[in-house]
């Protein structure tokens, strides 16, 4: 008889750290194979025939209430399985609440809600906590249960806090059901994670042995119904690796320590407002490389609107549409970049040529399968706007080297550009004059303060009800100026220079891709992927902001950020969310490289964490997933967790009801996808954008939009959140006018 690997069915109540739990199970249950289903994918009668194939079920956490059928789906019926279908079940948070309520417990709201906070847990040394000493566990809950006395649920662990006595673990005294209220899979849980799942597995095996239960031999029909095991990724149209040799990148390397990105931009025609232009500008640490495209009439611009069944391709004035057919836009992009793969670029730089541009927040919302709020949706401007860059200059601010490179064979442009840059560096070493804040009396339209405060209260109410742990609430501001004559040159470029001077940032950018112009001073990297083979996925979420000012030294900022339960909780929740996004694709190897470190920026101190994921070798079999997988990673992790809150899907749905505008470019991402296979995307914050369309071209005023906001948690103070929003806004608006 062959012994099969244990199969565990994990029930996902919509993206509440589910993949973190999957990873913890994988570490705790030797050789297990994990299948994940949504809680509404089946009804219990539909699921029953499949349960015998599994050794155990894990019921994950989730937003909402165990008393709301839509929140728990099939979970509520798991606790009354017919005797012949009974199997060991372990519940987490919503799972514990659902189990307890099924056996008569009262469900109550916590007086003091706990999200992303650590509590000391006491336990009764039951077998579930065998060998477990002290437990410091992360909690994510607004609700809690009070089991009925003398009922079948036995309390195994608890905590004492401002709420009094709160149940933290239970077991059914007869059936093989165990559950914890805290989150064993959180990165900051100590003591009650791995060990408790290991104990559950031991108890589950003991119970199965005792009752003579053995999982039925696997059968492919079950696999068809429940899907592939985690981690899985379909390659809908993975292209075979091209048989012809890949084109080679040609590069000239110059030693020009004083060459400024702005100088190169001006050589490449940034002042011609009519032409497209892209510059990803590392204007401050930890940014290192600045990437400037030298675009041509024939450069291919790719645009797409959410919901459209086609992609638009433009070369100069010539435009065509290509149907997506059965592909989605991400697969289309993956196929496109697979055809463009090149080799031989300089190994010291991350970009050799490729796509540069921006992706809207709504593109990410659509990828989450959340319906866009049609009342706000204008949909007039592309949600995806990228240009294929064949000629570029990369400046390495650390070594002072400048790389002039082209994807076009025998391109004389390299020699010409090298000469131009060399002579420019000899004649003038100075940076072109920076733009100054406008004296044209801009009109600034701030969000309505009382409405914003009311929205914060609504957000908190949703949090208290258990629907979200954290909501990144934002609002839109607009700035308008009288239009100036072209004689003053490109106004948007001068505005960018003013912003760069006022708020130099690691992920600054000037991107002009008709009809959108983005000027950015973003401090936040979203997702970078190193060049294959063995790509490393790297994310740097920011949560926690303190305004810089007299007396606000690093020590003061650290006290206000690292020393604050509220700020660390905000950051931790996003770290756990991003771990979940990464685990979804890469499988187990996700590490928090930096947790809650204070970093200094021009106008603010920020609390920053760093998370990295690596693909296990051969995880996706023999296919060459490089280009497809990178886009899939982007698709599955947008919108950036730091701009949504957690759990992501429910939080995005709530935010759609709390915000008055589509976010558009704000809260999306901008960056590049290199022909060498690497990519780097930043979060579009501390940025503003304008659209060159009928509304902007027909009036005498030039309009810029920008967004700003912050994480709302149960601990938020509405006035302080309003001030924090203004601090972020000022880092941008202050470049145009005196501060608001």
Ligand X SMILES: C=C(O[C@@H]1C=C(C(=O)O)C=C[C@H]1O)C(=O)O
For 264-390, where are the E strands, in sequence order? 277-281, 289-293, 300-304, 310-315, 318-323, 354-359, 384-389
Pairing of strands 525-529, 679-683: antiparallel
HEC secondary structure over 533-585 = CCCEEEECCEEEEEECCCCCCHHHHHHHHCCCHHHHHHHHHHHHHHHHHHHHH
Q: How far is the CB of 541 from ligand X (least distance, A)?
A: 7
**Residues facing 404 on adjacent strands:** 252, 393
- How far apart, in whole angstroms, are the C-alpha atoms of residue 327 and residue 323? 9
Q: Does 193 help bind ligand GLN (rule: CB under 6 A)?
A: no
User: b/e map of 14-46 (b: 16 or more CB within 10 Å)?
Assistant: bbbbbbbbbbbbbebbeebbbbbbebbbbebee
Residue 474 interaction partner, one of ligand X, ligand GLN, none, beta carbon < 5-8 Å per kind: ligand X
Alpha helices (H) in 212-351, listed in sequence order: 220-226, 261-267, 329-340
Q: How far is the CB of 425 from ligand GLN (least distance, A)?
A: 57
Q: How far is the CB of 574 from ligand X (least distance, A)?
A: 8
By CB under 6 A, how many residues form the interface with ligand X? 17
Phi and psi of 381, rounded to 5°?
-120, 145
- How far apart, in whole angstroms, are the C-alpha atoms of residue 280 and residue 230? 36
| Locus of tokens 């060991």 | 88
| Tokens representing residue 166 in the block | 């709160």
HEC secondary structure over 93-146 = CHHHHHHHHHCCCEEEEEEEEEEEEEEEEEECCCHHHCCCCCEEEEEEEEEEEE
Residue 686 interaction partner, one of ligand X, ligand GLN, none, beta carbon < 5-8 Å per kind: ligand X
| Tokens representing residue 91 in the block | 């519940």
| Tokens representing residue 274 in the block | 């009519």
Nearer to ligand X (CB atom), residue 251 or residue 545: 545
Query: Segment 91-110, which members bind ligand GLN (CB under 6 A)?
Result: 93-94
**Enzyme catalytic residues:** 93, 183, 185
Q: How far is the CB of 463 from ligand X (least distance, A)?
A: 14
**Residues facing 669 on adjacent strands:** 359, 683
DSSP 173-199: SSSSEEEESSBTTSTT-BSSSHHHHHH
Residue 63 interaction partner, one of ligand X, ligand GLN, none, beta carbon < 5-8 Å per kind: ligand GLN
Q: How far is the CB of 713 from ligand X (least distance, A)?
A: 9
Q: Does 115 help bind ligand X (rule: CB under 6 A)?
A: no
Which of 37, 96, 166, 542 is the binder for ligand X (CB under 6 A)? 542
Q: Does 118 help bind ligand GLN (rule: CB under 6 A)?
A: no
Nearer to ligand GLN (CB atom), residue 467 or residue 680: 467
Q: Does 63 help bind ligand GLN (rule: CB under 6 A)?
A: yes
- How far apart, in whole angstroms, are the C-alpha atoms of residue 342 and residue 245? 9
Residue 542 interaction partner, one of ligand X, ligand GLN, none, beta carbon < 5-8 Å per kind: ligand X
Which of 6, 61, 334, 541 is the binder for ligand GLN (CB under 6 A)? 61
Nearer to ligand GLN (CB atom), residue 89 or residue 306: 89
Query: Segment 450-479, which members bind ligand GLN (CB under 6 A)?
Result: 466
Nearer to ligand GLN (CB atom), residue 93 or residue 283: 93
Residue 516 interaction partner, one of ligand GLN, ligand X, none, beta carbon < 5-8 Å per kind: none
Q: Does 182 help bind ligand GLN (rule: CB under 6 A)?
A: no
Nearer to ligand GLN (CB atom), residue 94 or residue 118: 94
Which of 642, 644, 716, 737 is the binder for ligand X (CB under 6 A)? 642
Q: Does 231 help bind ligand X (rule: CB under 6 A)?
A: no
Q: Would you say 213 and 142 are in contact if contact means Cβ atoms under 8 Å apart?
A: no
Q: How far is the CB of 478 from ligand X (least distance, A)?
A: 15
- Specify the 3-state DSSP secondary structure of 493: helix
Residue 642 interaction partner, one of ligand GLN, ligand X, none, beta carbon < 5-8 Å per kind: ligand X
Nearer to ligand X (CB atom), residue 639 or residue 676: 639
Query: What residues contact residue 348 under an 8 Å CB cut-off, 6+ apart?
Result: 396, 399, 401
Q: How far is the CB of 67 from ligand GLN (least distance, A)?
A: 11
- The window from 137-145, 279-287, 715-723, 731-739 that contacts ligand GLN (CB under 6 A) reads 137-145
Query: Segment 460-499, which members bind ligand X (CB under 6 A)?
Result: 472, 474
**Residues facing 370 on adjacent strands:** none
By CB under 6 A, how many residues form the interface with ligand GLN? 12
- How far apart, in whole angstroms, are the C-alpha atoms of residue 146 and residue 155? 10
Q: Does 62 help bind ligand GLN (rule: CB under 6 A)?
A: yes
Nearer to ligand GLN (CB atom), residue 153 or residue 311: 153
- How far apart, in whole angstroms, are the C-alpha atoms of residue 294 and residue 390? 8
Q: How far is the CB of 115 from ligand GLN (least distance, A)?
A: 8
Q: Does 685 help bind ligand X (rule: CB under 6 A)?
A: yes
- How far apart, in whole angstroms, are the C-alpha atoms of residue 634 and residue 679? 10
- The window from 273-281, 343-351, 384-392, 543-551 that contacts ligand X (CB under 6 A) reads 543-551
Query: Segment 142-171, which members bind ligand GLN (CB under 6 A)?
Result: 142-143
- The window from 134-142, 236-244, 343-351, 651-659 that contacts ligand GLN (CB under 6 A) reads 134-142
Q: Does 669 help bind ligand X (rule: CB under 6 A)?
A: no
Nearer to ligand GLN (CB atom), residue 140 or residue 537: 140
Q: Would you say 726 and 706 are in contact if contact means Cβ atoms under 8 Å apart?
A: no
Q: How far is the CB of 706 from ligand X (least distance, A)?
A: 8
Q: How far is the CB of 17 from ligand GLN (least distance, A)?
A: 8
Q: Does 141 help bind ligand GLN (rule: CB under 6 A)?
A: yes
Element (H, E) at 50: helix 44-51
| Tokens representing residue 347 in the block | 């190994």
Query: Segment 507-536, which members bind ligand X (CB under 6 A)?
Result: 524
Query: What residues contact residue 347 under an 8 Å CB cut-off, 6+ apart?
Result: none
- How far apart, in whole angstroms, are the C-alpha atoms of residue 495 and residue 565? 38
Q: How far is the CB of 463 from ligand GLN (least distance, A)?
A: 8
Nearer to ligand GLN (CB atom), residue 20 or residue 263: 20
Judged by the rule CB under 6 A, the positions of this chain that interact with ligand X are 472, 474, 524, 542-545, 642-643, 685-686, 707-711, 728
Judged by the rule CB under 6 A, the positions of this chain that interact with ligand GLN are 16, 61-64, 93-94, 140-143, 466
């Amino acid at each position: 008889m062959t012994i099969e690997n244990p199969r565990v069915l994990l029930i996902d109540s919509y993206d509440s750290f589910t993949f973190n739990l999957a990873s913890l199970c994988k570490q705790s249950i030797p050789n297990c194979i994990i299948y994940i289903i949504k809680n509404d994918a089946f009804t219990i009668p539909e699921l029953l025939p499949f349960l015998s194939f599994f050794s155990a079920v894990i019921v994950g956490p989730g937003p909402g209430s165990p008393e709301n059928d839509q929140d728990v789906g099939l979970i509520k019926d798991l606790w009354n399985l017919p005797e012949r279908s009974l199997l060991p079940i372990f519940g987490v948070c919503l799972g514990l609440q659902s189990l307890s309520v099924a056996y008569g417990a009262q469900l109550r709201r916590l007086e003091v809600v706990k999200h992303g906070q650590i509590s000391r847990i006491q336990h009764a040394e039951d077998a579930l906590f065998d060998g477990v000493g002290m437990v410091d566990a992360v909690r994510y809950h607004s609700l809690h249960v009070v089991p009925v006395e003398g009922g079948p649920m036995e309390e195994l662990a608890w905590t004492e806090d401002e709420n009094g006595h709160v149940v933290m673990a239970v077991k059914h005294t007869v059936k093989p059901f165990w559950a914890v209220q805290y989150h064993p899979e959180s990165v900051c849980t100590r003591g009650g994670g791995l060990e408790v799942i290991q104990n559950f597995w031991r108890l589950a095996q003991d119970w199965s042995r005792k009752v003579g239960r053995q999982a039925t031999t696997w059968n492919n029909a079950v696999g068809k119904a429940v899907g592939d095991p985690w981690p899985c990724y379909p390659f809908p149209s993975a292209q075979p690796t091209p048989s012809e040799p890949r084109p080679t990148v040609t590069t000239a390397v110059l030693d020009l320590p004083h060459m400024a990105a702005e100088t190169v931009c001006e050589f490449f025609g940034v002042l011609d407002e009519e032409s497209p232009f892209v510059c990803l500008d590392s204007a401050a640490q930890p940014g290192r490389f600045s990437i400037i495209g030298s675009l041509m009439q024939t450069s291919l611009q790719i645009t797409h609107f959410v919901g459209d069944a086609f992609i638009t391709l433009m070369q100069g004035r010539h435009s065509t549409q290509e149907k997506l057919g059965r592909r989605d836009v991400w697969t289309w992009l993956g196929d496109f970049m697979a055809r463009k793969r090149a080799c031989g670029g300089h190994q010291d730089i991350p970009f050799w040529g490729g796509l540069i541009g921006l992706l809207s927040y709504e593109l990410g919302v659509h990828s989450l399968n959340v319906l866009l709020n049609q009342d706000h949706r204008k949909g007039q401007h592309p949600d995806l706007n990228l240009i294929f860059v064949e000629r570029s200059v990369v400046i390495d601010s650390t070594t002072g080297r400048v790389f002039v490179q082209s994807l076009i064979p025998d391109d004389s442009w390299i020699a010409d550009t090298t000469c131009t840059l060399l002579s420019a560096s000899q004649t003038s070493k100075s940076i072109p004059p920076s733009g100054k804040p406008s004296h044209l009396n801009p009109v600034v339209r701030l969000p309505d303060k009382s409405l914003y405060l009311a929205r914060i209260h609504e957000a908190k109410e949703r949090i208290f009800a258990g629907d979200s742990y954290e909501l990144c609430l934002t609002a839109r501001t607009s700035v308008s100026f009288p239009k100036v004559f072209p004689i003053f040159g490109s106004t948007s470029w001068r505005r960018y220079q003013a912003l760069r001077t006022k708020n130099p940032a690691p992920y600054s950018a000037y991107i002009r891709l008709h009809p959108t112009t983005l000027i950015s001073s973003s401090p936040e990297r979203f997702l970078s992927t190193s060049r294959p083979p063995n790509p490393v996925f790297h994310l740097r979420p920011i949560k926690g902001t303190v305004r810089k000012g007299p007396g606000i030294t690093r020590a003061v900022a650290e006290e206000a950020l690292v020393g604050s339960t509220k700020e660390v909780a905000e950051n931790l929740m996003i770290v756990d969310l991003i771990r979940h996004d990464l685990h979804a694709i890469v499988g187990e190897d996700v590490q928090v490289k930096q947790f809650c470190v204070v970093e200094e920026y021009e106008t603010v101190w920020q609390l920053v964490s760093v998370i990295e994921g690596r693909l296990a070798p051969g995880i996706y079999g023999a296919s060459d997933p490089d280009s497809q997988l990178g886009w899939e990673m982007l698709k599955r992790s947008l919108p950036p967790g730091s701009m949504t809150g957690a759990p992501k899907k429910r939080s995005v749905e709530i935010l759609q009801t709390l915000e008055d505008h589509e976010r558009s470019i704000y809260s999306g991402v901008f960056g590049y996808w290199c022909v060498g296979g690497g990519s780097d995307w930043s979060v579009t914050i501390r940025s503003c954008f304008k659209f060159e369309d009928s509304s902007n071209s027909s009036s005498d005023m030039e309009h810029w939009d920008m967004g700003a906001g912050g994480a709302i948690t149960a601990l938020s103070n509405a006035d302080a959140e309003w001030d924090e929003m203004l601090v972020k806004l000022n880092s941008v608006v202050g470049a145009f006018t005196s501060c608001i």
